[in-house]
Amino acid sequence: MEVGPPPPPVVRVSGRPEKGLLPTFATPFSQEIIEAAHPKKFKIPSVKLFDGTTDPDDHLDVYMARMYVQDVDDAMCCRYFPATPGMSQKWFSGLLSGTITSFLQVTELFSAHFVAGKRERKTSIHIAKIR
């Protein structure tokens, strides 16, 4: 008997008792991220809509600055990133189940996916070209 890869993590979300259970869904997060403790006093960061045409690193910088002031861990940075509005949500929903294990991985994948929006970084070579 062949043993394949483990099934993707499935999270059951329950609503209020009178509403019953919501459907299960697969998530790109690893089991460790799913099971990480949630801080008691936490406010979802308000971040401007990311439309995919601006620098993805700027979007990540704003998000991280807002998360940093709340003193959250890597797992919380991962779990709340999909809540940022715009193309980041659509991109996130296309990730494979159970593949995200750290926020560094999220930032690298996000930045690489939206590479077309990155602005050119100026270097000393640019100064040499000025006449």
Written as one string, the DSSP assignment of 15-26 is --TTT-BPPPEE
Q: pLDDT tens for residues 46-99?
A: 899 999 999 999 999 999 999 999 889 999 999 999 988 899 989 998 999 999
What ranges make up the beta strands (E) of 1-131?
10-11, 25-26
CA distance 71 to 73: 7
Contact 60, 117 (CB under 8 A): no
Count of domains in the chain? 1
pLDDT given for residue 121 in this prediction: 64
pLDDT band with cut points at 50, 70 and 90 for residue 41:
confident
Beta bridge partners of 23: none
Residue 107 forms part of a structural domain: yes
Task: Confirm whether 11 is domain-assigned.
Answer: no
Q: Between 36 and 17, whose confidence is greater?
A: 36
Cα dist from 103 to 7, 34, 37, 74, 108, whole Å = 22, 13, 16, 6, 9
Domain region containing 53: 28-129
Which pTM value belongs to this model?
0.72
Write the DSSP symbol of residue 39.
P
Within a domain: 22: no
